Amino acid sequence: MNDQLKETKNFLQEYSEQLYIYISQVSPSGFEWIFHIMVKFLLLIAIFLVIDFLLKFCINGVFSFFKNEKKYPVLKSIYHSKITNSVAHLVALTIIGSIHDSIFSGALKATTIFIVRSVNLGFVLIVAGMGLRSLKAFEYYNFIKQDFYKNFALRSISATIKIIGTFIFSILSIAVIFGIKGTTIIGSLSAITAVMVLVFRDTILGFITSLNVATSKNLKVGDWIGIPKYGLEGTIEDISLLTTKIQNFDKTVSTIPTYDLMSTEIKNIQVMSESNTRRIKKSIIFNINSFKFLDDELLKRLMEINLLKDYLLQKQTELKKLRSKIDHADKMINGKQLTNIGAFRRYALEYLKHNDNIDQTETVLVRQMEITPQGMPLEIYCFTNDSNWNNYEQIQSDIFDHLLVASKEFDLEIMQVNIRI
């Protein structure tokens, strides 16, 4: 084997000497080194491409037998991300680096320096490409395993490494091209770090946020969220290192900085969607001047309401017992009395409890809110048993259509601004 290598090397040296002499003869005076570089460079590229093609054919041929991603997820990830191609490039360039001295052995020094730097630059670029493909392999592996949060974390890490790696490998490439010493680069690291922190501030914040989201598992692509800060409500389409895309319900797409997912209030409504319930929290504002005690006439009329009859009979019995023990029982203000707003509040509660579209396992509440200059709000608080947006809006509208009209039976007045023309 060693003898064959020696013979090959001797052949290349003999061939290169003849080629060197020939190029020196045909080149214009003073431009020999340019022609030497061009011919030597093209020859090395040709050798590299042949070796690289043969290596890729062999390596990829072996990996093509492991196509089943469920049986061989690691090998499939390596093959899919084309790390095998990077390995072939690296081996081919290593061979070129070891034989380039044998080509043009009598060449000018300038050509050797150019080729050495070109080979070193090739090593830097191939290693950078191999690192990039390794990250893609990790992402694809977690995609096969269908682990969203790990895949999301790796995507964020990958994006961060790509940006920082591009910066570092660009500096290394410049150092290789111009022959800058490594000690000079190391001495400049403090300044480089300061620049990186300043330039990549959003990237660093996005990276930290991505890790936080991935580990806490609070959000994922497809979740229905609301962001009060921006007045947004929609579905997460994509979470990248720098931006998060949210599709609103009007089919527009909003983009926010990813680091806002950690620093801003986010309401994840997906849990509600998955439980197939959705909250109703809405008020009707009544004119306080329309509130009154129930007289006999109004009480008799309300007794005809099926949902309210049992309640009124029970309350009427309780109040008679209490009023029999007080003085001046004929005056309605003395002791406890039924009111039209109280009767309506009870009616609204019974109406919700007998509504098939309301989830009775959740809280069902009708309550008075703080009185305002506009009147007294009566809030309806409950949950529908259907989270579909169209159905939810229909159910909510039907409830308030009924209650708004039903309030007239109780001699209640809904507050609104009267516009006089």
Q: Which two tokens stand for residue 170?
A: 């660009």
**Does 22 share its domain with 142?**
yes
pLDDT of residue 319: 79
For 136-140, 310-314, 353-357, which range has the lowest pLDDT when averaged over its residues? 136-140
Q: Is the pLDDT score of 359 beyond 50? A: yes
Band (pLDDT 50/70/90 cuts) for residue 88 is confident
Q: What is the pLDDT of residue 317?
A: 85
Q: Sorting pLDDT into bands at 50, 70 and 90, what band is 29?
A: low
Q: Which two tokens stand for residue 164?
A: 């920082």
* Averaged pLDDT, 183-205: 63
For residue 124, what pLDDT band results from cuts at 50, 70 and 90?
confident
pLDDT grade for 148, boundaries at 50, 70 and 90: low
Question: Is 52 within a domain?
Answer: yes
> Which pLDDT band holds residue 146 (cuts at 50, 70, 90)?
low
Helices 189-199, 148-178: axis angle to 10 degrees equals 140
pLDDT at 201 over 80: no
CA dihedral sign of residues 160, 161, 165, 166: negative
Q: What is the pLDDT of residue 411?
A: 92
**Of 197, 212, 227, which residue is a domain's last?**
212
Per-residue confidence (pLDDT) for residue 190, from 0 to 100: 59
**For residues 103 and 43, is the Cβ–Cβ distance under 8 A?**
yes
pLDDT at residue 26 greater than cutoff 60: no
* 386 pLDDT higher than 80: yes
Question: Do 292 and 309 reside in the same domain of the chain?
Answer: yes
In contact, 349 and 364? CB cutoff 8 Å: yes
Residue 185: pLDDT band (50, 70, 90) is low
Residue 324 and residue 233 share a domain: no
- For residue 153, the model assigns a pLDDT of 59
Answer whether residue 386 is part of any domain.
yes
Instruction: Please tell me whether residues 155 and 248 are part of one structural domain.
Output: no
- Per-residue pLDDT, 421: 45
What separation, in Å, do the N-terminal and C-terminal C-alpha atoms of the chain show? Answer: 107
Q: Please indicate, yes or no, whether residues 99 and 192 belong to a single structural domain of this protein.
A: yes
State the total domains in the chain.
3
Residue finishing a domain among 158, 182, 212:
212
Residues 114 and 231 in one domain: no
Which pLDDT score, from 0 to 100, does residue 255 have?
83
Q: 71-80, 336-345, 395-404: which range is least confident on average?
A: 71-80
Please tell me the predicted confidence (pLDDT) of residue 406. Answer: 94
Tokens in use for 41? 């460079």
- The pLDDT of residue 41 is 73
Looking at the structure, tell me whether residues 361 and 300 fall in a common domain.
Answer: yes
Span 218-228, average pLDDT: 78
* Residue 419 pLDDT grade (very low, low, confident, very high; cuts 50, 70, 90): very low
Is the confidence at residue 403, as pLDDT, over 70? Answer: yes
Residue 420 lies in a domain: no
50 lies in the same domain as 144: yes
Q: What percent of the chain has pLDDT over 70?
A: 67
| Burial bucket for residue 118 (CB in 10 Å: 0-12, 13-18, 19+) | buried
The whole-number average pLDDT for the span 29-57 is 74
How many whole angstroms separate alpha carbon 291 and alpha carbon 338? Answer: 11
> Does residue 419 sit within a domain?
no
Would the pTM count as exceeding 0.75?
Answer: no
- The DSSP output letter for 329 is T
Full domain range(s) for residue 224: 219-274
State the pLDDT at residue 197. Answer: 65
36 in a domain, yes or no? Answer: yes
Q: Distance between CA atoms of 140 and 78, rounded to whole angstroms? A: 9
Least confident piece of the model among 136-140, 227-231, 277-281, 403-407: 136-140
Crossing angle of helices 189-199 and 201-216, rounded to 10° = 70
**Do 183 and 282 fall within a single domain?**
no
Same domain, 240 and 380: no
